[in-house]
A and B are shown apart, each in its own frame.
Chain A
Amino acid sequence: MNLLTEKPAKGFYRFSSPQTFYPLAEKMLPWFWVAAALFGIAGLWISFFVAPTDATQGEAYRLIFVHVPASWMSMFIYLVMAAWAGIGLALGTRLSGMMAQALAPTGALMAALSLATGSLWGRPMWGTWWIWDARLTSELILFFLYIGFIALQAAIDDPRRADKAGAVLALVGVVNVPIIYFSVIWWNSLHQGSSVSLTKSPSMAQTMFAGMILMALCFWMYSIAVALMRVRAIIIERERNAEWVRTEISMEKTNAVE
């Protein structure tokens, strides 16, 4: 496939080509890092110094400022990953598969972080590191789904086939996630009710809620920034034989010398 003979697409679709997306991602990166840092500083400050000590849970509740955003992101990233995978499968765009591949490790990290902080929180609250409750179990299964996706992509040498096979798996997974979630709830529910919902006002203090939202925004921005960095690495790796990569790298080298 010779990229040089392809006519560049117009408008937004111009960035569906790895060649045009690579410099765009580079320009976007600092903004997301700065946003992640600002939200992070504000969120951590509120979480540790402003938010009051919880009446029943004491100081240990402060783990939710990491735990809840990580859980949200682990679910949200799976949806975004499946969406990119679906777009890649439907339109045959190469960049979509690369985005899905770049998102998977961050999603797995978020799921692992959510499990780890959940079990740290469970020790003082429930008196045990792990209970087989619905939300813990479904988060664990979500983690397995991420690992399966990463393992399948790693096992296939041809990147195009890896993208497509991963896309089918991600889409099958996204159909199954709600089924798994509700089956696990039916199976066993000891977990306390959700304290944040979209329909009723939060039952927690306003400052706690603000801290959690700021931390969630921080995690979100971090995820985007890291995914963009990873997708840039994937682009360079996969397109290493393309002409534009050579010129790009030689330009970066001269810039570094200056």
Chain B
Amino acid sequence: MPTATALLITAQRDLLLAMRRKSDVLVSLFFFVIVVSLFPLGIGPEPLLLKKIAPGVLMVAALLSTLLGLPRMFAADYADGTLEQLALSPLPFGLLVSGKILAHWLVCGLPLVLLAPVLGLQFGLDGESLPMLMLALLIATPLLSLIGSIGAALTLGVRGGGALLALLILPLYVPTLIFASGAVEAQMVGMSTSGYLSLLAAMLALAVFFAPWATSAALKIALE
């Protein structure tokens, strides 16, 4: 089997499983919407203040929402032995893991990108900031899935997995958060965004290469 096909088949399988349990997908999507909606309630309805905090609030909510879906990335396959079979297969394990990460992004990341403009409008973002918000999220969300996969693999079958996962992964999400919300903030005040976007893209390129490798190493430790 060509290696690219293996990646796509793994992703396809995970997508199919996700589609059969739509509630899981919708829960993290609504979590994103609810967390974002809580901020105006907590802070107050001043339009200027809300516009100022919008990029940060949306990015933090996206980050937490991605985190919510992470434990599901490997847990079911680990429990029923599928993961062990994947690890034993002659195909490169890192590639199969990449397929699973891709599926996680399509299920947990991409919907956030598509939903973000609606929430951005609620915070009074203007017409030029909304595409920038989508673009920043489009680069940031796969990065979140890739970095998160390492944590998901490390905490597989470990006591208190969910809270521990957050503790391990959230500090590593800091650069993504800074650059993604920085890009939108720069757009809002009319400054150049290319620096932020280039750095985000550079981190994504690094993560695409290294994260599946680290994740498969962590999974093999869990499977021992």
Tell me if B221 and A165 are in contact (CB < 8 A): yes
Q: How large is the interface on B (under 10, 10 to 19, 20 to 34, 35 or more residues)?
A: 20 to 34
Tell me if B154 and A169 are in contact (CB < 8 A): yes
Q: Which residues from A are CB-within-8-Å of B175?
A: 176, 179-180, 183
Smallest CB gap from A156: residue in B: B158
Q: Which residues from A are CB-within-8-Å of B214?
A: 168, 171-172
Q: Which residues from B are CB-within-8-Å of A160?
A: 224
Please classify the interface of chain B as helix (H, G, I), strand (E, B), loop, or mixed, using the class held by over half of its residues: helix
Most buried by A among B159, B178, B179, B214: B178
Q: Which residues from A are CB-within-8-Å of B30?
A: none
Q: Which residues from A are CB-within-8-Å of B199?
A: 183
Tell me if B171 and A145 are in contact (CB < 8 A): yes
Give min CB distance, A80 to chain B, whole Å.
Answer: 19
Q: Besides the contacts A144-B171, A155-B159, what 20 more A-B pairs have beta carbons closer than 8 Å?
A: A145-B171, A148-B164, A152-B155, A152-B168, A155-B160, A156-B158, A160-B224, A161-B222, A164-B221, A168-B150, A168-B214, A168-B218, A169-B154, A169-B168, A171-B214, A172-B214, A184-B174, A184-B178, A186-B178, A186-B179
Q: Which 6 A-B pairs give the minimum distances between C-beta atoms?
A: A183-B175, A144-B171, A164-B221, A148-B168, A183-B178, A187-B178
With an 8 A cutoff between CB atoms, is A141 at the interface? Answer: yes
Smallest CB gap from A138: residue in B: B174
Give min CB distance, B98 to chain A, whole Å.
Answer: 17
With an 8 A cutoff between CB atoms, is B182 at the interface? Answer: yes
> How many angstroms between the C-alpha atoms of A145 and B167 in the bound complex?
8
Question: Could you name 10 residue pairs across A and B whose Cβ atoms are closer than 8 Å?
Answer: A145-B171, A151-B167, A157-B159, A168-B217, A168-B218, A173-B172, A179-B175, A179-B203, A180-B171, A180-B172
Q: Which residues from B are CB-within-8-Å of A184?
A: 174, 178
